[in-house]
Chain A
Amino acid sequence: MDLVQEPERVPGKSEIRSCFDPQSGTLDRKVFADQALYDLEMQNIFARAWNFMCHESHIPNPGDYFINYIGEDQVIVVRDKQGEVQVLLNTCRHRGNALCRAEQGNAKSFVCSYHGWNYDLNGDLIGVPGLSTYYRKDFDKSQWGLAKAAQVDHFHGFYFATLDPDAPPLHDYLGEVGRIGLGLLVANGPVEAVDGVQKNVIDCNWKIAVDNLFDWYHVQYSHASAGIAGFMDIAAILHPNNQMVMFGEYGHAIGGPVIPEEKQAEIDAMTDEERLAVAAAGMLKDPTKPVVPPRLSAARELLGPTGVRCMGHPNIFPNLWVSTNGTQLSLRLPRGPFETEIWWFTFMPKGLPEEVRKKQIAFNAHLFGPAGMLEQDDGENWSQSTRASRGVVSRGYRHHLAMGLGHDEVMTDAAGAARVETTVSEHAQRWLYRNWMDWMTADDWADLKANHSPVPQGRV
């Protein structure tokens, strides 16, 4: 189907500020269907943000590479000969051809298939055919190396990159909530990637795929069939009376179930051996049930007193979901306003007993991904919502995201993490779209740092 292209225009700040109304909790559907807003998202969000690249175990050896994206810019994430991780734009400086066409692999250098320009693993241009004959030595290779990400860093082995030199360091960008979110991945010790990233394309806007990860309201209805089929007890995973939303700077958030304080106190009283025994016994007894192991004692220091109780879904702004109790990561990669690639990465603690590892991986395959018992039913909801945002009359009706608005008090723990403990709500979605407006209206990082929404206090 041909997509209707809007005439070229740059949305003004007042237009962007009208997209979401924090007072009424309503959202203009144009955020899902406007080419000009999408183009601005690529500039103002993806080209500025820290974007997840891969885990260190995806590229353990020099020459190992993994292809990923920053917005629609394709990048090569590669371990160079010195063992450093480089993030290079996957486009030859001569005529723009992609250097890597594989999704991952190992290379000694990157040779362009068009004219044979050859780049070292750190991006330096080291070979140009015909340098003395055709170019007659009138060419300076040192000026034509591959374009690189402005900053590359990792958090517990999870690599991120930003194209913006003015972005704050990764640690500060993540903040307390982002660090708790990623910390869930390593809450039970160091992990390694399971080989294989599931990838599929859904004809939906990327933001509805992101905001859905906070949405514990849809679970009972969208995924009712998984409960009826006996795959999981949908009611039991909801914990409707024990939900928590954490608000992080720059739009990071965590939403979903929380371990009640008294239950956490029981866990705190257990030794690590007892906790491991509970986890292993639960999984082997019933392989259809997820491992929700009590986190080990070290997790309390890593995640803090609030984070250690967190069983919900973190999103690292803009598009990285930490899922399945910290064993999976999902990227929602934009491909135009009407298409999104969904990527699923899976991680397992090092040294997990083989039988438990096998069952947990099989469970993850049954849960998410395009054939997952839960995720099968998500894609069509999102694609139909996106499609309905294209009708000129339908588009005029704003989405209602006001669940729980004005009913909860923000609490702040000693580490500075702000949260509400409540029932199922749409606080996290509102936080996402409020911050989306901040990013979209900021002129640059200096503006965003100075003028982004402060973490909420008081009643929300």
Chain B
Amino acid sequence: MAYSLPLLATLAEPPAPGGSTADAELVAQLQQGSEAAFRTLVARFQGRVYHTAYSLLRSAEEAEDVAQEVFVEVYQTIGRFRGTSALSTWLYRLATSRALQHRRRQQARKRFGFFTSLLGFTDQALPEPPDHANPQALLEGAQQLFLLQQCIGRLPAQQQVAFTLRHEQELSYEEIAAVLGTTVAAVESLLFRARHTLRQHLQSTARHV
């Protein structure tokens, strides 16, 4: 199942627990057009936004691109932010949806690029996804982690987002539910299925190694 959030859906604030006073003040200043507030926002959240995008894309260049896009979008749409949800929840939602959108575009571009290369009027090289497997890493025992990351990348989008937010960003079930716009029970189900699939894949891979 493709996890896609249309623009309006990502702009709509998901109900989220918490939301600090500092963030509320920051939002108020941003809505007044304060550049210093925007600088503070970027400094405060750039690590989390970038890391979320990186976890889903596994590419530094693409994560950078998505993280920049997220902050540009925040700057342009902050006027519509009503402050009923945590700022971090909104940012996580933008980061995950934009990262997945970016990945879909890359996949579409790759398919379209193959078609145009057959016609002979392509003018740009298609970047291959980076291959993180190297003998040194494998020898150092990072093979399992590498395999896990590969398997995470092949999970259905919602499971992937839930798993990443839980096990890499260490968000609570409630926070993940707010980011995905779903219930805690649904998040539990997503995580259960994700773990089950991942363990099965890893076990079958271990049998064949």
Whether both chains belong to one complex is answered with no
List the interface of chain A (C-beta within 8 A of B). none
